[in-house]
Amino acid sequence: MKFLVRKKDDGKRLDIFLSEHIGHLTRSNIKKTIESNDVKINKKITDSPSKKVKTNDSVIVELVIKNSDKLLPSKIKLDIHFEDKDILIINKPKGMVVHPGAGNYENTLANALVYKYKNKLSDINGELRPGIVHRIDKETSGLLVIAKNNLSHSKLGKQFSEHSIKRKYLCLVWGVIRPLQGRIETLIARNKKNRQLMMVSDFNGKKAITNYETIKVFNIKDVPKISLIECKLETGRTHQIRVHMKYKGASLLGDNQYGKKNIKFKKINEDFYEKLSVLNGQALHAKSLGFIHPSKNKWVNFESELPNDFKKLLDLLKNLSS
């Protein structure tokens, strides 16, 4: 992977600069990559994570793939929402990991893509991430754009880095967010106690912006209030919506990492509790995706339907609410 240092990044540490541009690697992974002599600045190898980059520096990263980490094709049916010569729009089901990582080297979206398209996808992000421009969490369903060539990947990647991509999500949360409509702007960093989780930070981290609107508040007897929220992302940080909803005191239904465990309330409607218990993962769906098409140079927008478990839960909430 190759990056050009822009004026706004002048003077940043090399490891920080790369962590901001390579979203799928942790800071520690990037540090190891640098110390393993796999990073060059202006064609010269550097092994110092703290080295400062300068405007117009050319930074090249060689991501070494171990033999045991080779991407194996998997015959998995893909829900292809749209396809042309440049892009794919995939409707990812809940439970599918986007690309291989620690403990997940098979049955990911990337495995399915390489089975169907072989080498006919962009390779900018390396062998383990064919065509992958961005990702959504394993237990989040919804739309992803896949690049079929490197030019499309570069143009889409630029839009993501400039935050011009329009992404809308629907989620169900415990409680009511006040005000009912607003903007959440914080820093998000890794949780110091659990590096697999993220947290809102006052002093360090990456800027994260979520615009939200309450669509409906459900009032059900003997059940805490539940809200249907639409979130529009300006940034795409790891677990951003889940972290921001928790920050506002309204964690997602079914979120076992950031949310409240489903408590069986006294006198709770048994049908409701049963449906809530079988909700696989958090109630979060990437419902729309809009961007400038990489070759047509015109705005395109894609919408997807809610998955069945989300639909059924919504119908139940509507039937039970006062």
Query: pTM of the entire structure?
Result: 0.77
Q: How far apart are the first and last CA of the chain?
A: 55
pLDDT value, residue 172 = 96
Which tokens hold the place of 302? 């894609």
Q: Is the pLDDT of residue 115 over 80?
A: yes
Choose, from 15, 57, 86, 137, the residue flagged as catalytic.
137
> Residue 102: which pLDDT band, with cuts at 50, 70 and 90?
low
Pairing label, strands 44-45, 39-41 = antiparallel
Length of the chain: 322
- Percent of the chain at pLDDT > 90 equals 64
Domain boundaries, the chain: 2-61, 71-161, 166-320
Angstrom distance (rounded) from CA 38 to CA 35: 7
Neighbouring-strand partners of residue 230: 170, 213
pLDDT top residue among 27 and 14 = 14
Neighbours of 182 (CB within 10 A): 14
Please tell me if the domain spanning 71-161 has the same topology as the one spanning 166-320: yes
Q: Is the pLDDT of residue 273 over 80?
A: no
Angstrom distance (rounded) from CA 30 to CA 32: 5
> Residue 30: which pLDDT band, with cuts at 50, 70 and 90?
confident
pLDDT top residue among 260 and 80 = 80
| Whether residue 57 lies in the annotated active site | no
Q: Is the pLDDT of residue 210 over 50?
A: yes
pLDDT value, residue 33 = 84
Q: Which CATH number fits domain 71-161: 3.60.20.10, 3.30.2350.10, 3.40.50.970, 3.40.50.720?
A: 3.30.2350.10
pLDDT value, residue 64 = 54
Q: What is the DSSP string of 141-182?
A: EEEEEEESSHHHHHHHHHHHHTT--EEEEEEEEES--SSSEE
Tell me the fold of 2-61: 3.10.290
Distance from the Cα of residue 314 to its chain's centroid: 23
Q: Is the pLDDT of residue 67 over 50?
A: no
Neighbouring-strand partners of residue 301: 290
Considering the domain 166-320 in this protein, what is its CATH number?
Answer: 3.30.2350.10
**Residue 310, SS3?**
helix
pLDDT value, residue 23 = 62
CA dihedral 253, 254, 257, 258 (to 10 degrees): 0
pLDDT value, residue 264 = 46
Which tokens hold the place of 90? 């995939």
